[in-house]
Amino acid sequence: MQTLEVSLLDRSYPIHIGANQLASPATYEKFIAGKTVAIVTNETVAPLYLPKVRAAIGSLGKAIVEIILPDGEEHKTAASLDKIYTSMLAAKCDRKTTIVALGGGVIGDVAGYAAATYQRGIPFIQVPTTLLSQVDSSVGGKTAINHPLGKNMIGAFYQPQAVISDIDTLKTLPPREYASGLAEVVKHALIFDSDHFAELESSADALNARDTEVLTRVIAHSCKIKADVVKQDERETKDIRALLNLGHTFGHAIETEMGYGAWFHGEAVAAGCCMAAQFSEAMSGGAVIDVERVEKLFSALNLPVSPPKVAAKNLLAHMQRDKKNENGTVTLILLKRIGEAYVDRNVAEPKLLGFLERTVT
C-alpha cells in the first residue's frame, strides 16, 4: 500500500492506495470517533462492496445507517441530498456521526456535501470505488450537487478524514467508466508533468489491461500532483488550483447540453482537453501545443477526442455560467505546452464562438 498526505495543517489527512482494504476493520478504525456511521452508496456499488464495509465497520462496535441512492450523474441533486438528511435525522444521527462515502464521484460529492452541512458539519471518509474518483474527486475537499442550469453549482469545500482507495474495486468497472477515470490522469499530466505524460503514452496498453502495479503507481502519482496543488491553494483563491480545471469548462458545457449522464464526466473532460489544446494553439500566435499527441493518447485510452455535434451558441451559454468566470467574462484553462497550463481570464467571446462553430457544428 502507498500512503500520501494532503497537508492542510489541522485539516490534513492521508490517502491510502492499495489492495484488500475494504474488508479490514483497521482501514477505518482510527478515523471513526463516534458510535454511529452512515454509509452512503448507490444501487450499483451496494451489492458489490456494502457487505464488506458494513461488516468491517460493524466489527468495531459501530451502529450503521445504510443510505442507498440511485446511480448516475443525473441523481447528483438536491433530492438525493435530502434523502441523506432525512435518513440520518430519522436514525437520530448526531454531530459525532461519521459519513462513509462508498462509491464514485457522484456519491463522494453528494455525501461530502451532506457531511459539510448536516448539523453544520460532521466527519466523513471518502472510499472511492472508481478510477476517476480515486485520482480526482475524492482528493481536495470539493463537494457539490448539480443544478439544472449548471454542474457543481451548489457545494462547499470540506475535507475528509481520510481517502481509502482500494484498487481491487477497479476490476469491476465497466470499460467506459474505467476509461473515464484515465481522462483525469492524463489531464493532471497535461497541466503539470510532461515526463508523466510520456510515461502514460508508453503505459497505455498496461493501463487498458488494468495492470495492478502500473495502476498503483499512476494513481499515486496523480494523487500526489493534486495533493500538492490543494496544499498550495485549498479553496481555489489562486490560479494554481484553477489549473486543475483544464478541459472542464468545455467538458461541463458538453455534460450540461447533452443531459447529465449521457456523456461520462471523464469522456467530456477528454474531449474538453482536446478542445482546450486546439484553442490554445489557435490563440498562441504560432506556438505548437502538439495537439496530435494529446489526441493520440486520449484515443489510445478509448476516450473521445471530439465533442458531440451540438449548437455552438448553446455550449457558449453554458460556458458563460461557469464558476471560474469573473466580471461576466469566460475564463479558460489553456496550454503553453504539454506539462504547462495557464489561466486566461480575458477570452474574447467572438473568437471562442467562432472556434466552437468550427469544432462542434
Catalytic residue set: 120, 142, 184, 226, 236, 241, 245, 248, 252, 265
In eight-state DSSP terms, residue 301 is T
Number of neighbours of residue 259 by Cβ within 10 angstroms:
10
Q: % helix / strand / coil in the chain, to the nearest 5?
A: 50, 20, 30
Strand partners, 15: 4, 163
How far from chain centre, in Å, is Cα 284? Answer: 29
> What are 318's three cell numbers?
453554458
Q: Helix (H, G, I), strand (E, B), or coil: what is residue 321?
A: coil
Look-up of cell digits 489491461: 209
| Identity of the residue numbered 11 | R
> What are 165's three cell numbers?
482507495
Helix, strand counts (H, E) of the chain:
15, 11
CA distance 180 to 137: 12
CA distance 342 to 191: 8
